[in-house]
Structure 1
Amino acid sequence: CYIRINGTTYGNLPLVLDLKIRVEDSPNSAGVMLDIIRVMKLALDRGISGILDSISSFSFKHPHIQPPSDIIAKQWVSEFIEGKRER
């Protein structure tokens, strides 16, 4: 992850902050994978198979359907869990 922050300090002097974050994906993705497994189990219990656009759009970098925002993707997952959304 790269983050760059541009700003000014005292006396209107420029300030540039470059940040590079490195993490191992496997430990960081454990929680995400648990959520995916829970939603997949719910789908199987409902007799649904195939692509689940709701959890895919919320959890994956390149989902089948790209939601307009993370907030919408989270809403899709909630709707699926509540039974208001088919996939």
Structure 2
Amino acid sequence: MAHVLAKLSGVPLANIRIQLNKDAATHAEQGMTLAHLWQNAEKPDEVLFLFRVEDLDRCRARMKEIHAHARQQQPDMPLPELVFLREA
């Protein structure tokens, strides 16, 4: 199973949780399931979340499109740093 690890700083955990809940159906359509959500104990303004992903290449391409579109709409929008992980 592939995963995507996302890290986002400067956005309150509550706001991220709300957005992830709003996006859950869209994520599911893209083969992404939220597995974990963490707040960094050392840096409280940093949140990490992990998705299980059915098709990593499809997910990577879709996330690239979504982030590019978001940047066009709002260049200073905080977007998560994404790490795409394959099982070894």
Q: Which has the higher contact order (CA 8 A, sep 6+)?
A: 2
Rg bigger for which structure? 1
**Larger fraction in helix:** 1
TM-score by length of 1: 0.27
TM-score by length of 2: 0.27
**Larger fraction in strand:** 2
